[in-house]
Every structure is written in structure tokens, then in C-alpha cells.
Amino acid sequence: MSGAYATDSGDCKNFASLKPHCCKQNPIMADLWPAAASDDGGRTVEGCCRGGVMSAWAIDPSLSFSAFEMTVGNLPANTSYPPANLTLFAPGLGYTCGPVQDSESTVFLDYGGRRKIRAFRTMKSVCTYSSFLANRAPVCCVSLSTFYSPQITDCPKCSCGCRDSASDGVSCSSSQSSSSSLGGNGVDDNKLQCTDHMCPVRIHWHVKNNYMRFWRVKLTISNYNLRKNYSDWNLVVQHPGFSKKSIAYSFNATTLPTVGIENEVALFWGLPYYNSELTEAAAGGGGGGGGFGSVTTDIILEKDLDEFTLMNGWALPRRVYFGGEECQMPFPDAFPMLPNGGFRIRSSPRHRRRYLFFLIFLVVIWLELRL
């Protein structure tokens, strides 16, 4: 093995002189730690040693893959058999891998990229992820607020479990005490602050200001887990406003290409050494957070004058995903609404100009009639 290791060597008693790395027919392979990439023992290959963590392709393509090599013995000459079964265990049990099938041979580069080497045989398996298989309940929820309404729409009650339910296997604490005072050694990662929603992570979307050509949103991510950090977190927000130019002040951000999705999708992640780690609730809000275990940013979005409105919750997100998991949204009938008579307000400057010109026209006609 190079670039990874088998968690169990199996029974290799039949090999007395040169013992294999593993003798099991169904070995479990684990990634090497990043420090192993500088090891001179010949156990590493190019693209290995991610510590089990791969970046999203849109964030860092160079860290979005991991590789290892292995030599399989006791096979007939000039043969290569595909794996009978592949199971991807990390980061959870939500992945289902399809059959291993032949595909176009992989091409490697040698001599500084001047020589191409084609693999003898290439086989691929596509693994798809399902949140329903990975989690019994959502792991995050969304709360909403706006400048034009005093109403704050909190996460739906029991979004990720109920406080008084013992069947969820999640305990909670009513105070932000330290991990040591909770009597644990870090084994129980599901110790949460007691809330009505009982979610480890809450996303808060606040419509902050409405300008002539732009509008401003404050986005806050809060960690309610008392013993778990979220390193290299990422957040996906689906909203039609991202079709125009947008600026996130305290997060990295980019828009994702979409096919068959009605609204635009934006991807957010933390700034290195500033807020790329969402700390546990008991550790404080280091990294530019707005409170305990939280990170926040303001987002400026350019208006599409033909589409932008504050009516019917248009300024609120359609869907939100944290770490690839879809968050529980409030029901539309609980969204913050414009005050009474707000339906007559036109937010578009184009409509306001037309209305002003119409009033001036009426005044001019009235003056001519008087004269």
C-alpha cells in the first residue's frame, strides 16, 4: 500500500518471508494524515494524505481528490479484476456506490508533462449521497428576520429533534458551560445547547437594508454543539438574487453552475485563519463571529429592477445547505411580512420614477386648465 493503509492486516500466517500489508478479501482502507506526505518511507503517492478530508471542487480543485496505490498479489498473470463491491464510509453512511465499470483509460504525465502514459485499464464507480440515509433528522435549520417587520421567524420547533424526547439520542445543556464541566472527555459529540429546534447548526438570514440599486443581507451561522467544531465549513444558499453581482464581506463566496434549477445558487466558506472554523458553542465565537460559536458576514446584492420586491418573502432564501446537508426551512406562512398597506409599496426605482413623472404631468395639466 502507498498513500493509505488497511485498518486490519488480517491473517497473513501463510506468508513467512515477505508479509503483505493486508490479507483480507474485504479490507477497509483509510487515508493517511497530511504529515505523511513528507515521509521518506515510500508509503505516499501524489495526491494522497488528505487526512480523510477533501475540499469542495468549487473551493479548491487541487484538494478535491485523494489517491492511493496498492499491489494485489496471488492473481493469474495478465489479469485485473474489478472490485466486487465498493462502500464509501466517510463522512457518513449516506453514500451508495454503483457497480464498478470499465471506462476510458486514465492518462498520466511524465517527464515534466512531456510524456503521456496510458493506464492498462481504468474502472470507475459513481457514489451518490443521500441525506435521508445519513441522518435520521435534519442537522441544521434556518431562521429569518427583516428590517421591515418586527417579526422574527425562528427555526421550526423540533426541526432536528425534540428536547424532551429521549429517542433522539441527543442530550442538551441549558447553559454554555465548558466541556470539562459537562463531565465528558469529548466522546459524546452530540451535547447541544437546549433549544426549541434542537439543531446543531442554525443559519440566520436577515434582510438588513434596501437601497436604490442594492440590498443588504446579514448572514449568521451559529454552532449549538458544545463539543464539536466545524472546520472548513461551507454553506450553499439558493436565491434568485444571486443572478446579479453580489459581495460577501467576511466570507469567501462564488456562484455555482446550475442545470435544471430555477434559482441561482451561491457557495460560501470561511476565510483562512479568520473564520474558517466554526467553533463549539462553549469555546466562544473566535474568528470574527457575532457571538458564541458563530460566524457572520454582510452581503451586498445588486438589484434586478424588473424582479426585486419585498412582497411575499421574495428576499428570503429558497433553500439552504450546510456541509452538503439541507437545512429545515420555516413554513412560508410564518415568513416575516410587509406591514399593512405594504402591498402598495413599489421597491423598484423605475416604478417610483414613473409615478413621479405621472404626478408632474397631472400638475402641469391642472395649471394649464387654471390659466
Mean pLDDT of 51-71: 89
Of 283 and 298, the one with more pLDDT: 298
Judged against a pLDDT cut of 80, whether residue 285 lies above it is answered with no
d(CA 138, CA 267): 20
Residue 346's pLDDT band (cuts 50, 70, 90) = very low
Is residue 322 within a helix (H) or strand (E), and if so which, with residue range?
A: strand 319-322
pLDDT for the residue numbered 353: 67
Percent of the chain surpassing pLDDT 90: 40
Burial (Cβ within 10 Å: 0-12, 13-18, ≥19) of residue 207: buried
Higher pLDDT, 188 or 97: 97
Whole-model pTM? Answer: 0.79
- What would the pLDDT profile of 14-26 be if each residue is shown by its tens digit? 887 888 999 998 8
Closest by Cα among 311, 348, 357 to 213:
348
Identify the pLDDT of residue 88: 87
Q: Please measure the distance between the N-terminal and C-terminal CA atoms of the chain and give it in whole angstroms.
A: 98
Q: Is pLDDT of 220 > 50?
A: yes
What's the confidence (pLDDT) of residue 344?
A: 45
Least confident of 1-10, 16-25, 75-84, 147-156: 75-84
Question: Residue 141, CB half-sphere, CA atoms under 13 Å: how many?
Answer: 22
Contacts of the segment 357-366: beta carbons below 8 A, 24+ positions apart: none
Least confident of 204-218, 268-282, 328-342, 357-371: 357-371
**Cell numbers describing residue 166:** 429521549
Q: What confidence score (pLDDT) does residue 227 get?
A: 85
- C-alpha cell recorded at residue 88: 464509501
The whole-number pLDDT of residue 351 equals 58
- Note the pLDDT of residue 292: 62
Strands 201-210 and 214-223: antiparallel
pLDDT in tens, 192-211: 888 899 999 999 999 999 99
d(CA 220, CA 202): 8
Of 309, 172, 185, nearest to 240 by C-alpha is 309
- Is the Cβ–Cβ distance between 320 and 311 less than 8 Å? no
Measured distance CA(218)–CA(241) in Å, rounded? 14
* 123, 82 contact by CB (below 8 A): yes
Q: What is the pLDDT of residue 199?
A: 92
d(Cα 339, Cα 342) in Å, to the nearest integer?
5
Choose the weakest-confidence range: 104-108, 183-187, 306-310, 365-369. Answer: 183-187
pLDDT tens-digit series, residues 109-127 = 888 889 999 988 899 999 9
CA angle 44, 47, 50 (to 5 degrees): 85
Select the highest-mean-pLDDT range: 45-49, 78-82, 291-295, 322-326.
322-326
Element housing 8 (H / E):
none
CA distance 320 to 210: 22
Backbone angles phi, psi at 200, to 5 degrees: -65, -30
Closest CA to 278 of 225, 230, 226: 230
Say if CB 278 and CB 233 are below 8 A apart.
yes
What does the alpha-carbon distance between residue 65 and residue 44 come to, in Å, rounded to a whole number? 15
Q: Give the span between the Cα atoms of 11 and 30, in whole angstroms.
A: 19
Q: Is the pLDDT of residue 284 over 60?
A: no
Cell reading at 41:
518511507
Q: Average pLDDT in the 310-317 region?
A: 91
* pLDDT at site 35: 82
The mean pLDDT of the chain is: 83
179 pLDDT above the threshold of 50: no
Q: Which cell numbers hold the place of 210?
A: 434596501
HSE of 71 in the Cβ direction (CA atoms, 13 Å)?
6
Q: Which three cell numbers stand for residue 236?
A: 450553499
